[in-house]
Each structure stands twice: as structure tokens, then as C-alpha cells.
Structure 1
């Protein structure tokens, strides 16, 4: 767990034209915190204020350094920020290599060759180094922009919807690089997005903004199943759980993970390292409920669960919030028809079996363990 001195503290309040902002949250000193919300909710304003590009009243502290409070305002050029915008904004007159080293050359210690080589390898930029930036694809441009940002030795990396301008094929191509980047950094990353799929794949924590205010903040796995926010009642609701790999069968490619004392099985193309912790994604539509324990089934995953809540989800369905065993730390959702819920007479507090048809990795890049 991050020490308080390493954390990001943000408390901002004020107006920008017709827009009113009043937010307060903390973010971990390592890992990825998503800033999520609809267009106009204040996501970009928060990032720009942290960077010092917009000025609101309040307080901003990064890695123990006060960048803003009632007595001071550190100007943008003195804030150690790496900023990746929606548009890569590369220098057209410089090669990819010179774009990468531009920020580093402006720091006190100059270009760190080892760090440069590591970043080039991490983001797969080797084949691009001598190319002109005008001949790069959108995904390639964003990878260069990310490399340039982290080579400036920032204390925090701010990413403002860096994937929003890419088509789905380009997103799919760049996401593994973004995952690898986030997993390797020892600094906080604030990742702005309005795409929950990106958030599920990349974030550890989340701050949900609505109309310039914080609607919720905390670990992603908890916020996704917070009934007051509505994520859990959507037909495409998903949940993020974490489990430790305890076995892998090379003959059929099935990994066995410990999930709070219960076992869950999933297909993995690559042999996982035993003992590593992996993030799992479970879609509500892939979960069914039963009081039976039929062994003759193609569904491998059957989990002992307790019903925490039942909420309406559209005209014909209900969202059933489930906890593993009898606790509530690891929760996920089943989307079932109202007819089935009535026929089974489901009730809060009841223990039964959840059958999970499909489980996927929320991220393809292995993250370090976090408390």
C-alpha cells in the first residue's frame, strides 16, 4: 500500500466559464487511477489543473510536494508532469528518436541511456526511431508520446483519453503497450476515459465524476459493484476480481486460481507463473444461479455465493449482486431474467451456487502485487 507521502492529493473548486468544479480525492502513489465520467463531467479540467494549466482554488500535492495551496501556486514548467494528450502533438520537424529525448534533454540530468533503451523496448519503438512522425499511424504516434512523457522523469503521468482518437483495431494493438507501461512505472498514473472497457483493463482505482463532482472513488473492484452508481444494473455489467494462480495444466491450457478460498478455472494461452496474482473479468451475462450442484456440465466454475442485493435491470431482467462465500469483499453480478428470479424465489441473504460460464483476464500484462 502506498505511503501517505507518496499519494496524490487533489482538492479543487471553482468555475471555468459556465462549468463549476468541486472535487476532492486521493490517488495511490503507484498504479493507475482512472478518472471516469461522461463528456463534460470535468475529467480534463482536473488533469489540466493538476498540471497547472488551469487554475482553481484548492490544493494539489504530488509525492509529498505541494504544487498548490492557499499560499502558493507552482507554475506548470516547474511541475514534474508527464502529460499525454488525446492528440499526440509530436514535433513534426524531429525524428521519433529526437521526439523521445526532447523532454529528457530539458531535465537537469539529461538523457539517461539505460532508461531510454528500456522505454524503447517497453513500447516497441525500435523500428520507428529514424522515421518522421508524419509517417506514423495514430497508435504509433501515441506510443511515441507516451515514451516522451515518461522520459522527462515525471513525478506523475497524466493521460487524457489517449485512445479516444483510435479505431478499435488500433486500440487493440496499443493496449498491451499501455498495460506494460503502467505495470512498469513506479509513479502514479491518472488515466482519463469515458470508456469503461479501457478502465476495466487498465485501472486499479477509479474516481467517478458527475457534473464536476466526485460521485464515487475507490478500488475499481468495489466501485463497479456499487449499486448506488448504476454500473451493476447495466445489462453489460462486469466485475473485477483478483486471484492467485495455484496450478496450470499444460495438456488443456487451463489455469486454476484461488479466489478467496474457492477455486476458479480459466483458459490461458501462455503458461502463468505459479503464485502470481491476476485480475479477472466476469460479465454478468455469463453468470447463472442454481441451488443444485450438477457435476455433469460443461461449465467448470461453480462458486458458493451469498446474495447481497437484487436490483431491476431493464424491463425483463434483474441484477443479482453476489458475494463469494458469506463475505462482501469480492463481489460480482449475475444478470438473470425476472421470470427466473421469481421462479427461484431469490432473496437477499440466501446462499446458493453461481455458475460462471466464462472468465477472462482483465489485463494481459502481469501486474506486481499490491496490498
Structure 2
């Protein structure tokens, strides 16, 4: 099931004019505040009628200005999760969850209460009221309520924005499970690169109402041209990996297309698939295989692009196997190493520089 969006809508100061496709998995709409993300997701939900265009889910039009089609919200069968849980304070968690079942079409197969409670870790919370829940727990209930309406797709408008870092770390694994087990396509609005790197399979980058880049997450996040959108501190790459084995000294060995990575011990079993986010400022570039270093991760590669910044730094894109890394170095270092497209190099990454929050499931 995929979502096709092609809409135009005026906003103060600019016009939203976007066209993209959201396939299965999580499609992240990324952009800074005011880029038009919420306008797009509200148009998909039916909460806003665009000036022109078409929105279709697996070929079925939800909105088509030229054909005068504009399905009302309840007929679109989309589950919407907002920034705050919007739970009913006088109802228990169980009652909030089953409220979503009222909107599920009769006779349509879908997850039941027990299955959703297990998926989102809500089993022991069912008899509590929202007032006794943490922010992360409230959002998990909101996810469950949306799931129990048996939607064709989930829409999430910055669902973690109101949570502190600890609550985000708590809830992200549940979102990964929801992505991997529900089978539902998810349109996920965010301006957090870390969230997008962990959850997204597809990324659509918006700026002033326009799509400036769209594609698989690994490609978009490692594109040097997108550094301005993501910010220098957040620039990096996402590498798919498989857990090869766990070592007795507390390290986990990962197999990636360009070699092996050693990280502090991970909880997933050997053979499990994962994704690792490596920030550009954690990568050192060497013109030959270094000797006598404490860093365990040294990946051979080839420079494929360089992008200068406004200051003394630059971004180097390096092909390592089938993956692409980004390294943030100074222009002086690039000149000293004679870096240019086609130059053979080695990327050096410290094991301890990769945070646990930058290692994802799936």
C-alpha cells in the first residue's frame, strides 16, 4: 500500500507545492518549523482541503480537485496521532484504547486489544487513568487507540516533540516494533534528524513548501547537499547492518557491506538486522590504513564527493562497500590529503562515539 500526494495550497508568505510518494514502511516528512509539514499531513488526513491537486491511497483518491473528490475524515480510515496524546482523562487506558475500536469497520480483520497492548507494552497500564501516566506512556496509548481503529495508514505529527530525551529513548523501540510488526504504512512528521534516522525507510525533505529531496533514508541522510537542511552537528549517514556476534569483552561485532564495525554490546541476538547512524564529526579520514590507533573501526573506501561550507570545514562523502559515509573535516586537511573524487581513503570511527540512541532495530 502506498500514498501518492500532489497538492498545492497557499500559506502566508509562500505556497505549499509538493509531489511525492510514500511507499510501505515509515515515510518521514522532514523540515524545519514552517516548512509546510503539518499542512501536508492535515491535507492527507482530510483536516484541510488543498487548493488543487490529488491525494490517493493505493490508487483510491482521497482528494482530487479536478474530479471534485474530497472524502470526509471518517471515510478515509486513517489513524492520526498528534503531538499530545489527546486521551480522555475520565477514561481508563483500556477504555481509551477500546474507544478506537468504535471506528473500526465491522467484520474487518485487525489487531485486538490484547495484541496491541502487548505490542506497545501497555498490559500493566490498562486500569490506570491518563493522569497517572508518563508522557511516553500516554503517547503509546494514543498509538494503540489509532491501531485499534484498524486504519489503512497511520499519520503521526511530531508525536515525540513534547517529550524529554529520556521519554523519547523509552518510546522509540515501541515505534520500531510498530513499524516492523503492524504492516501499516506510516507518514511521520518530524524535524528531528535522530528520530528520522532511527525510524524512516523513506525521507521527504521540505523547505518553504517545496520538496527539495526524497528517497530511501540511507541515500537522503548521506547526501552532502542535505547537510544545510539537517545541520552540521546532525550530519551523518545510516548504515544497514547485521549482528555478527557478541564478544566476551563487551563489544558487539556488526557486518556491514564495507566491512565490520565494533560497538558497545547490543541486546539484539546474532543474526538480527539493525541500522547504525554514524555522525560526520565522528569520522576521521586517512590516506592509508592507519597503524597504532585505539580506534577499532577502520573502513576502506573511496571519495565520491566533497562539499565546502562557509567556514573552514567541508563534508567528504565516502563510498564504503554499498554504503556511503560522511566525514566532516577542515579544508586544510582535505588539501593535505589531496582529497578528490576517486581518491582511495580509510574512514576511522571510534566505537564509543556511536551512541546507543543511534543504533536502531530493523
Fold conserved (TM > 0.5)? yes
Aligned partner of 2:238 in structure 1 is 240
Supply the distance in 2 between the matched residues of 1:324 and 1:360 (Cα, whole angstroms).
21
Aligned partner of 1:355 in structure 2 is 348
- Report how far residue 364 of structure 1 moved: 5.4
What is the correspondence of 1:293-332 to structure 2 with a 5 Å cutoff? 293-313=289-309, 315-325=311-321, 329-332=322-325
Q: Does 1:59 align with 2:54?
A: yes
> Does the aligned pair in 2 maintain the 1:68–1:74 contact within 8 Å?
yes
What is the correspondence of 1:27-42 to structure 2 with a 5 Å cutoff? 27-28=22-23, 30-42=24-36
Aligned partner of 2:330 in structure 1 is 337
- Report how far residue 130 of structure 1 moved: 1.3
Further displaced range: 181-190 or 8-17: 8-17
In structure 2, the residue corresponding to 1:165 is in which secondary structure?
Answer: coil
> Does the aligned pair in 2 maintain the 1:279–1:362 contact within 8 Å?
no
Q: Does 1:97 align with 2:90?
A: no
Supply the distance in 2 between the matched residues of 1:59 and 1:278 (Cα, whole angstroms).
36
> Does the aligned pair in 2 maintain the 1:266–1:360 contact within 8 Å?
no
Supply the distance in 1 between the matched residues of 2:293 and 2:227 (Cα, whole angstroms).
33
Aligned partner of 2:164 in structure 1 is 167
Aligned partner of 1:46 in structure 2 is 40
Per-residue deviation, residues 40-72 of structure 1 (Å, max 9, x unmatched): 111111111101110012111113322122222
Aligned partner of 1:82 in structure 2 is 79
- Report how far residue 236 of structure 1 moved: 3.7
Q: Does 1:117 align with 2:114?
A: yes
Cα distance change on mapping 1:271 and 1:295 into 2, 3 Å: farther
Aligned partner of 1:130 in structure 2 is 127
- Report how far residue 93 of structure 1 moved: 2.6
> Does the aligned pair in 2 maintain the 1:104–1:111 contact within 8 Å?
no
Per-residue deviation, residues 299-341 of structure 1 (Å, max 9, x unmatched): 111111111122224523221111115xxx5211111233322
Supply the distance in 1 between the matched residues of 2:356 and 2:218 (Cα, whole angstroms).
14
User: How many matched pairs?
Assistant: 356
> Does the aligned pair in 1 maintain the 2:236–2:279 contact within 8 Å?
yes
> Does the aligned pair in 1 maintain the 2:173–2:361 contact within 8 Å?
no
Further displaced range: 332-341 or 106-115: 106-115
Aligned partner of 1:194 in structure 2 is 191
- Report how far residue 297 of structure 1 moved: 2.3
Supply the distance in 2 between the matched residues of 1:362 and 1:169 (Cα, whole angstroms).
10
Supply the distance in 2 between the matched residues of 1:235 and 1:145 (Cα, whole angstroms).
32
> Does the aligned pair in 2 maintain the 1:240–1:362 contact within 8 Å?
no
Q: Does 1:290 align with 2:286?
A: yes
In structure 1, the residue corresponding to 2:142 is in which secondary structure?
Answer: helix
Per-residue deviation, residues 57-90 of structure 1 (Å, max 9, x unmatched): 2111113322122222211110110000112111
Q: Does 1:11 align with 2:6?
A: yes
Supply the distance in 1 between the matched residues of 2:298 and 2:34 (Cα, whole angstroms).
42
Q: Which runs of 4+ in 1 moved over 6 A?
A: 110-113
Supply the distance in 2 between the matched residues of 1:179 and 1:31 (Cα, whole angstroms).
10
* TM-score (normalizing by structure 2): 0.91
> Does the aligned pair in 2 maintain the 1:250–1:271 contact within 8 Å?
no
Aligned partner of 2:249 in structure 1 is 252
> Does the aligned pair in 1 maintain the 2:277–2:359 contact within 8 Å?
no
Supply the distance in 1 between the matched residues of 2:279 and 2:105 (Cα, whole angstroms).
48
